[in-house]
Copies of this chain bind each other. A is one copy, B any other.
Amino acid sequence: MATKGSDKYRTKFTLDERDIPAKWYNIMADFKTPPPPVLHPGTGQPIGPQDLAPLFPMELIKQEVSQERWIPIPDGIRDVLRLWRPSPLYRARRLEKALGTPARIYYKYEGVSPAGSHKPNTAVAQAYYNKKEGVTRIATETGAGQWGSALAMATQMFGLQCKVYMVKVSYQQKPYRRIMMETWGAQVVPSPSPDTQAGKKILLEDPSSPGSLGIAISEAVEDAATREDTKYSLGSVLNHVLMHQTIIGLEAKKQLEKADDEADIVVACAGGGSNFAGLSFPFAADKLAGKKKKLRLIAVEPSACPSLTKGRYVYDFGDTVGLTPLVKMHTLGHSFVPAPLHAGGLRYHGMAPLVCKLYDEGVIEAVAVPQISTFQAALQFARAEGIIPAPEAAHAIRVVIDEALRCKKAGKRQTILFNLSGHGHFDLGAYEAFLAGKLQDYDYPAEKIEAALRGLPKVSV
């Protein structure tokens, strides 16, 4: 399978569907020290499985705390993943040529899923376990709609009902994502909604509230907590969600082998962290085992929402309202509201605890990049490779191009792998603003972050 002879220009490294990973990789097994405990928001004490039982099926709670290195993927999940997995690995030959770099650039393309991103990898798993434990209905929140559409598709596949609380301003401004969810049979309401006590209360105070992810989370959690038939579902941050995404990196490793190549640099954007974890954790495994010491793993975040590079590594709430358990993570403060970036999936105040632990231990790096330069990178990519990237994925591309140009300057033939986590078909409004010169960069919001950090909960662990 070497890239020689008629394979000189090999571009696409596909796997057979028999090569869909049979097990998820659980990085918890490879940590030298256990991750900091998750704390109850009321008592400040470590929480147990029973605290999470009203919201999640037991199998997912077990996965959340499992120390097993490999967790088998049930056939019922793999049979849905077959619809688009294994996802292709591409060699970006045309981008390499456009850059004139000696570096080899590969990208794993998750935009081939019907929902257009990596999100269905965990949505399918979560829907499966809920179904298996007799749940008939799942409630969730969504901002721009990537997560909501992934879950709408997955619940439809398992015959579950799905209720999505969609941040009202997105509900109004991004009708296509809403219609997508409805096409897959989900019920979508603008949040705040009159369907929950939390929503009613906010509507009473401000009938024209535009909503927020924090409010939508509150509504979805209340919905799940107050209905016997309903559980709650989250699209990132949690350990089990990150683990479900590791099939991305596991496949990519096999595909790089087919390409007779090995990664020197692995890059992915990071909002809540599941996309970055999905690609990088199977590579981080090698580093945690003391191998591949020179391998670099780079998380890319927006400079307007730089939780890893500028946040504090402390206990904070996962949501903006302050209802969730407390987790130790790099955070900008749960009350921090990021600028209205087009990369909606990267507008999160914190970062997945597992990603934070790796960053804290120096296993991974992080870079923050400004908005306009990510769109410049996206445009260059689209014109070379065809695919129009989602604004989130464009953050990774920015750093990939920068690294490839560094290789050019240094005359180094390094191998760069990144995750093209989704296509930009529903983000063309952002491209229009960029092409018209109307896109703006946001200054590093130092004061806002400082203020938010002052509001961190007091925890003594």
Contacts and interface: CB of A to CB of B under 8 A. Distances in A.
B425 A183 contact: no
A12 B20 CA distance: 12
Contacts of A176: 425, 428-429
Given A6-B18, A7-B18, A156-B383, A183 B12 contact: no
A389 to B, nearest CB: 10
Contacts of A9: 79, 82
A409 to B, nearest CB: 25
Given A114-B386, A425-B426, A426-B425, A11 B82 contact: yes
Interface string A389-419: 0000000000000000000000000000000
Contact of A83 (B112, B383, B385): B385
Contacts of A6: 18
Interface string A179-195: 11011110000000000
A11 B7 contact: no
A435 interface: yes
A435 B382 contact: no
A17 interface: yes
B82 A379 contact: no
Interface of A: 6-7, 9-12, 14, 16-18, 79, 82-84, 90, 94, 112-116, 153, 156-157, 175-176, 179-180, 182-185, 379, 382-383, 385-388, 425-426, 428-429, 431-432, 435
5 contacts: A12-B83, A153-B386, A176-B425, A180-B428, A183-B382
